Amino acid sequence: MNAIQKIEREQMRIDLPKFNSGDTIKVHLRIIEGEKERIQIFQGAVIRISNGTTDATFTVRKTSDGVGVERVFPMHSPSIERIEVVQEGRVRRSRLYYLRNLKGKAARIKPKNRW
């Protein structure tokens, strides 16, 4: 293992849960405003996961007041307090960009059946 891989391994977070595309998650973000610090929750469906070492990212999409909002989060960011998996979704693709064109009930993702 070379020096770069060793440094990257130290920066990676191992406390994050496993989630896939189509899952509904809550991302608890640490927001700093001046001297105050608070936690803001961003809940939505995971439409993309980009794997990698320290540059891994995931994209979460939610609908807020009828407007679609997407946000890209670095997987190993220190500003992420924690991630909760609310519901696992049943999808056939890893990139769910088609959700951008759907509205209302058509934009829902079916839950994964656990028998």
Q: 96, 47 in Cβ contact below 8 A?
A: yes
Gap between the Cα atoms of 75 and 58, Å rounded: 7
pTM for the whole thing?
A: 0.87
Domain containing residue 20: 8-90
What is the number of alpha carbons within 13 Å of residue 99 lying toward its C-beta? 27
- Domains of the chain: total: 1
108 in a domain, yes or no? no
20-68 tens-digit pLDDT = 999 999 999 999 999 999 999 999 999 999 988 788 999 999 999 889 9
Flag whether 34 is in a domain: yes
For residue 109, is it within any domain? no
Q: Does residue 114 belong to any structural domain of this protein?
A: no
CA distance 6 to 27: 28
On whether the CB atoms of residues 24 and 87 are closer than 8 A, the answer is yes
Is 1 contained in some domain?
no
Q: Is residue 77 part of a domain?
A: yes
CATH number, position 30: 2.30.30.790
Asked whether the beta carbons of 108 and 89 are under 8 A apart, the reply is: no
